[in-house]
Structure 1
Amino acid sequence: MSEESSTSESEVSACSSNFDPVKALYSGKSKAPIENAPIYDNISQYEASLQKNSTILPVGNSELVKKIKEEKEKKKLEEAKELEEKNKNRFAQYEGLVPKRPLPSYRTKNILTRIEKMEGPLAILKECVDQRLRVKVITRSAAGIRGVLHATLVAFDKQWNLALTDVLEIWKKKAVKKRKIPPALGTPVPKGTAAALSYVPVVTETPVGKGVLECTRHIPQMMVRGEHVVLVNVVER
């Protein structure tokens, strides 16, 4: 005799005193007493839904849940607006007692903002910065004139500190007589070790007579202190 035939209708009926929940789960004869009964995920949700102000909804009511959520957001915005209006009316009586002053327009001061207001000789440097003109800068050393810089001026300040790009530096120096290193002193440091750490400009030396060499090198960017500047001449107009 099969299990299905041994199960009576009274054992699978929820309204019967002989109701057996285990047999009702596995029997094909069991029927829900109310077909459209709400469905909950667990018993705790069902118990919470029986409370008076409960917001727990049965499964399958996504539209209703969305509607309730929109109503909550709307109510929250209305309360915030009401509170803002209440605070505004609360302090409205004190508005006339406090004088209204225009807010100062602060602007960050740096070298670029100061360049815009330069006058006098520095105004020519400002023109070189705006139009990207090439300039010729004569520099000095502790003893006299050191050399010449042909570059494009990017920025400057009232102390004549110059920021230059695409710099061609030309200077002269006396040729040093070569001397041989005795074998006892060891081997000299190989050339090019500094270039492995950072970019080292290549210096080209050209003899101009009387033991003097003219040196030239190209530097992408250079910062020249104002105390080393002797003369600035505009090359291009």
Structure 2
Amino acid sequence: MTDSSSDSSTSESEVSACSSSFNPIKALYSNKTKVPVKTAPLYENINQFEAALNKSNEVFAVEQSELVKKREEEKERKRIEDENKLRQKNQQRFAQYAGMVQTSREFRTRNLLTRMDAMEGPLGVLRECVDKRLRLKIITRHGTGIRGVLHATLVAFDKQWNMALSDILEVWKRKGHRKRKVPPGLGTPVEKGTAATISSVPAVTETPLGKGVWECTRYIPQMMVRGEHVVLVNVVER
């Protein structure tokens, strides 16, 4: 009842934007209000409208989102161009000092595996044996002479000829019990079977060769041989 009475008391001149007696409050709540320009741009507040009047290229109306998107794309493109120009300018500026800059050396991990790949000469043959899993015949020595022979597959090695072997067949010779001399520095031998409680001891097969000499043979899954015990290495399989 109040709205209809207030609307009836409102005159055309009070809601007309072109009239000198324009009343904005009544224009907001009256049904008689008519928009002079239906295609007029829409702004969120008065500040945006004033900014659009002063800087028409920077402020857009609410429904002009495509123009805003194009403006942002243009700004991004210009920023990238400026960065490229600055980078090229700096490259030309410091080109004469390029040879004077000390570049940091690349850190490379060095271990047994990487050193094996760089081996050349006789050690390069050992590298080929590791890659192709070739069988080797290795003659070993003790303090006074030749000890025996190892038939094995090489797994790894280093420049001191230390070797990690697998699938080893070891053959060596020894004198009979009566003719063997036990050095006094060895002390009292352990009881039979004591070592087997700690780790399994490979079984040794002994074959008499005559004149008190026995040939011993045993199979060992894995073994580490020091380079100072290696006399000769021969490639059995190729």
Q: How does 1:75-86 map to 2 (within 5 A)?
A: none
Identity of aligned residues (%): 69
- Structure 1 segments, 4+ long, off by >2 Å, are 96-105, 188-191
Aligned length: 137
2:124 pairs with 1:123: yes
Taking the aligned partners of 2:164 and 2:209, their CA distance within structure 1 comes to 30
Any stretches of 5+ residues in structure 1 without a counterpart? Answer: 1-95, 179-187
SS in 2 for 1:143: coil
Taking the aligned partners of 1:125 and 1:206, their CA distance within structure 2 comes to 32
Alignment partner, residue 229 of structure 1 = 230
State TM-score, norm by structure 1.
Answer: 0.52
Amino acid at match of 1:211: G
- Report the alpha carbon displacement of residue 177 of structure 1 after superposing the two structures with TM: 2.4
- Report the alpha carbon displacement of residue 199 of structure 1 after superposing the two structures with TM: 1.9
Q: Could you say if the C-alpha distance between residues 189 and 146 of structure 1 is closer, same or farther in structure 2, counting changes exceeding 3 Å? A: closer
Alignment partner, residue 106 of structure 1 = 107
SS in 1 for 2:127: helix
2:192 pairs with 1:197: no
Taking the aligned partners of 1:213 and 1:177, their CA distance within structure 2 comes to 12
Alignment partner, residue 82 of structure 1 = none
Q: Could you say if the C-alpha distance between residues 177 and 104 of structure 1 is closer, same or farther in structure 2, counting changes exceeding 3 Å? A: same
Alignment partner, residue 213 of structure 1 = 214
C-alpha root-mean-square deviation of aligned residues, in Å? 2.7
Q: How does 1:2-13 map to 2 (within 5 A)?
A: none
SS in 1 for 2:106: coil
Amino acid at match of 2:178: K
Alignment partner, residue 144 of structure 1 = 145
Write out per-residue CA displacement over residues 185-237 of structure 1, whole angstroms, 9 at most, x where no aligned residue.
Answer: xxx97522210111211111110111100001111111111111110000110
Taking the aligned partners of 2:114 and 2:159, their CA distance within structure 1 comes to 12
Which of 1 and 2 has greater Rg?
Answer: 2
Amino acid at match of 2:192: K
Taking the aligned partners of 1:165 and 1:106, their CA distance within structure 2 comes to 33
Write out per-residue CA displacement over residues 102-138 of structure 1, whole angstroms, 9 at most, x where no aligned residue.
Answer: 5532121111100111111111000000001110000
State TM-score, norm by structure 2.
Answer: 0.52
Alignment partner, residue 175 of structure 1 = 176
Any stretches of 5+ residues in structure 2 without a counterpart? Answer: 1-92, 180-188
Amino acid at match of 1:198: S
